[in-house]
Structure 1
C-alpha cells in the first residue's frame, strides 16, 4: 500500500474527504517525526511505539575492495510493534 492508497483507506474508514485524510496523515507523520527527533518516544497502545535509538560506531568493510572502514555512531528511528498489532499480523 502506498501513501495515496493509505489516504483512500483512511478517508473511507473515517468517512471524511480525501483532502482531510491527507492532512491528517501528514500531521500524524510530522508529529511523530518531530517528537522522535527531539528525543521523545511515542507510544500507541496496541499498535506500537516509536523512539530514537543510538547506534554505536563500528568497523565495516568496503564491498568492492574488502578494506575495513569506520562507520560513525548515529541515532536512528526505531519502531516496536505492540501485542495487538503483532497478533493481527500473525493470523
Structure 2
C-alpha cells in the first residue's frame, strides 16, 4: 500500500490550482459536499456520482460478541454503517 496521503488542506490547494478558484471557495464547496453527503446518508438516501462513487447507509443486525478481556458474551445492538463504492472512472485511475 502507498505511503502517500493527501489531507484536506492539500486537496483544497490542488483543486484550487487546477480550477483557478480561490482556496476559500474550494474549501466552502467541499464543506458543502460533505454536509450534503452526511445529511443524505443520515436520511437513508443513496448518493451516486456516476463513474466516480456511490455512498449509502447500510444496516447491521444485532449479534452476539465476546469481551476480549474477560471472554464474557455480550449482545451487540443493531446499528448502521456507511458503504462507499468506487465507480468505473475511479477504478480505472487506480490501475
Report the TM-score when normalising by structure 2. Answer: 0.89
CA shift digits 1:9-57 (9 cap, x unpaired): 1111211001001001000100111011111110001111001100111
* 1:21 corresponds to: 26
Give every structure 1 segment of 4 or more consecutive aligned residues whose post-TM-superposition deviation is greater than 3 Å: none
Q: Which runs of 5+ in 1 are unaligned?
A: none
Matched residue pairs, number? 90
> In 2, Cα distance between the equivalents of 1:43 and 1:63?
38
**TM-score for both structures, normalised by structure 1:** 0.92
Gaps of 5+ in 2: 1-5
Confirm or deny that 1:78 pairs with 2:68. no
